[in-house]
Structure 1
């Protein structure tokens, strides 16, 4: 007779507990094939259960193929594959080990959350929620029409770009848009990427199966001759303010890149990273705005201007590519939640975004001036050369030393300082990348500067 302690499985119905016990015995071979099970009444009396409970367990086992009923004979075990005995295994870690607590981290730009108009965002969120179930409705796969309209208006007002909302595709951050572009364009031609450049671009394209070819930069950005020599049919670049070198591509070079695209049938992906933060002169025109042959795909996000946690980016496709995009990529739903799209659309169209951006430009202009002054008057000022273009939230610092980057990194880590090296951004590191640091200054408040300079002085002291 089958004997089970069903009290060992609290929180589930008795019939399911009995079903699990019998199923386990069948799978482990304790109940071999063709074994006749006790009658429902006999098992119920033995286990002090109701007949209905036993019948429910038997019927579930029969429905799943573990038992078979033979008329006037009862329930019999069906042949099934036995499960191998469980081998204890160590579960993989769910997350990487925690990062050290850095006393000074110059590798990441942290958006200043204290400056964000949280009250305005909350008010707009309540407004959307109070207006019924509009945000519950599915959004088009290119994004909410109201958001695309607001983005098109913002691009027209502040970047001089004449685009229609139909050209805009909204997605959950830059990486997702890279994935879409890899699928849309990657099967036809290799991609050229800037070297050095933002490593994640190269990694995402490569993991999508794209033939990714690094192209070295000269002082004006991507060299069209080197681009042509790479054999690429698509190039991903940041002409307005390159990360991490800070290079700004002049108009003559931009025109040369457009000629490359026109004569070869190539495509340019213009990544307009942090172009909103230009502190001297007028904003530079985008490549897209001077492209008359529909060869440029424009890409940007709200990561720097609002928050990377918002996970909203967008790209502007040339009109001639829309039919292909809608035909080949219509299987993907928009990856940005509808509520965030509704709120962001109102944040843009109400003028709140423009006001916020104006405040942040002023804040970062002052912070940049204070940081540069601190470096220029630091104890190690005679050993450094700064390279910056009056734009963006980072600049380069070249250190006069014979010490290799690995040793400099070791010294810094021992003192709780995290440094970013230009060579680590290169697919093919070159000698001119050595001893050059990428300084991300957005997280350096004026109050933190004295301590930061002290720590850097300790890192740089007594270097050969």
Structure 2
């Protein structure tokens, strides 16, 4: 069947749009010699147009030799020797050929998890349960904001562990952080001025740029994003990672959080986007309260995903809208359907409800804490840094080190690369003019086993000392 999405507002008549589409399909080889086209009535019903429109398009194609009409049989593609059109996957470009992937033996990246810790047996058991008990619900369309039972479980989790009081109706399920940002930007508007942390999460800056938004980079001080500098900008939306600033690792203290909320409260159109990307991995016994839990004027939009706590490929995240913004969101119907499949949402609901998520997090915290402590001990024992040159390791899943090795940050990164080790300089996360600063290196450890960490540090020692 031929499927075409007509441009109803176009100056081009429907018959011409259909004619051009079929002509293109024949020329590209998608419709081949002797292929039979749908009857005029069948195609008109399928495309919800008049049979006269189809007949006009077919007649044009017959007159030009693209189709042949056989009485009491139908319309067939004529044998026309068009030049072969190369498919895009067969085209080689200099850009593709010149991509060089550097092989690293050790990579201290921050955007990975240990997939060996994924609860395969539990997830498999819950998958079977969902398939057995929810056959019809799996196939029907869910609420645009996501599976209500999942939103209820997330609301319970947020209240218990992040101090957030939110109704399930305030929660919108979405497929990962990129889609969440797209939805939030579309909802808040592209004509606003956004503020982002500098150094900070580069992906949010890229998404703002792609969406045609104006944004301002606001530098940090020892307490996180500088509110005094934010106040000097025209921004009305600010994106922050207060529980564990990325990449500096700064945990925003209560005084700065209140200052940020005060900034938002000064005008009606100001809002804070709180990205709580790895708050589950605070090292202390007490979890760090979310900025949203201090918000009494509905100024914070809270964002989180299950990428680091379960697996990046799960592609399930969510955001919490203040009640007054929720009404606007629903009225505008930013997205007509939920972007996460029913199956994954139902499995995750059971995973949360039956206590597996909490057990899984406890196991991950314990395992990652051992890796962090091993990395710190190996770094100190190797002579790369002293203990006081390791910063902001109490929360999150990466370390900040400041080696005193008489080498610039660039030299440290290049020396490591020569030994097939990937480390990340803090300057990689800056936009604009770099401030004068000492060499600072970021080391993630979640993708390395304990023995691998020891080997990687010895390799770093060979590269740097």
Q: Deviations over 1:200-241 (max 9, x none)?
A: 111111111111111000000112111111210000001111
- Equivalent residue number for residue 307 of structure 1: 311
Q: Deviations over 1:103-149 (max 9, x none)?
A: 11012343122222211111111011012221111111111111111
- Equivalent residue number for residue 17 of structure 1: 33
Q: 1:61 to 1:456 in 2, by over 3 A?
A: same
Q: Deviations over 1:19-63 (max 9, x none)?
A: 69xxxxxxxxxxxxxxxxxxxxxxxxxxxxxxxxxxxxx999639
Runs of 4+ in 1 over 6 A off after TM superposition: 58-61, 68-71, 82-89, 93-96
Q: Is the 8 A contact 1:221 1:248 kept in 2?
A: yes
Q: Is the 8 A contact 2:385 2:401 kept in 1?
A: no
CA drift of 1:102 comes to: 1.2
CA drift of 1:403 comes to: 3.1
- Equivalent residue number for residue 238 of structure 1: 241
- Equivalent residue number for residue 354 of structure 2: 350
The Cα RMSD (Å) is 3.2
1:152 maps to which of 138, 148, 155: 155
- Equivalent residue number for residue 62 of structure 1: 62
1:373 and 2:377 correspond: yes
> Under a length normalisation based on structure 1, what TM-score does the superposition of the two structures give?
0.80
Q: Is the 8 A contact 2:384 2:461 kept in 1?
A: yes
Q: Distance in 2 between matches of 1:359 and 1:377?
A: 27
- Secondary structure, counterpart of 1:17 in structure 2: coil
Q: Is the 8 A contact 1:262 1:295 kept in 2?
A: yes
Q: Distance in 2 between matches of 1:18 and 1:275?
A: 62
Higher mean alpha-carbon deviation, 270-279 vs 186-195, is at: 186-195
2:413 maps to which of 396, 409, 428: 409
- Equivalent residue number for residue 122 of structure 2: 120
Q: Is the 8 A contact 1:184 1:329 kept in 2?
A: no
> Under a length normalisation based on structure 2, what TM-score does the superposition of the two structures give?
0.80
1:450 and 2:454 correspond: yes
Specify every segment of 5 or more residues in structure 2 that has no aligned partner in the other structure, as ranges: 1-28, 37-57
1:323 maps to which of 306, 324, 327: 327
CA drift of 1:338 comes to: 0.8
Specify every segment of 5 or more residues in structure 1 that has no aligned partner in the other structure, as ranges: 1-11, 21-57
- Equivalent residue number for residue 295 of structure 1: 299
Q: Is the 8 A contact 1:423 1:433 kept in 2?
A: no
Higher mean alpha-carbon deviation, 183-192 vs 417-426, is at: 183-192
1:207 maps to which of 200, 203, 210: 210
Higher mean alpha-carbon deviation, 397-406 vs 194-203, is at: 397-406
1:189 and 2:197 correspond: no
1:252 and 2:255 correspond: yes
- Equivalent residue number for residue 36 of structure 1: none
Q: 1:19 to 1:64 in 2, by over 3 A?
A: farther
- Equivalent residue number for residue 3 of structure 1: none
Count how many residue pairs are aligned between Structure 1 and Structure 2.
405
Q: Distance in 1 between matches of 2:316 and 2:69?
A: 58
- Equivalent residue number for residue 279 of structure 1: 283
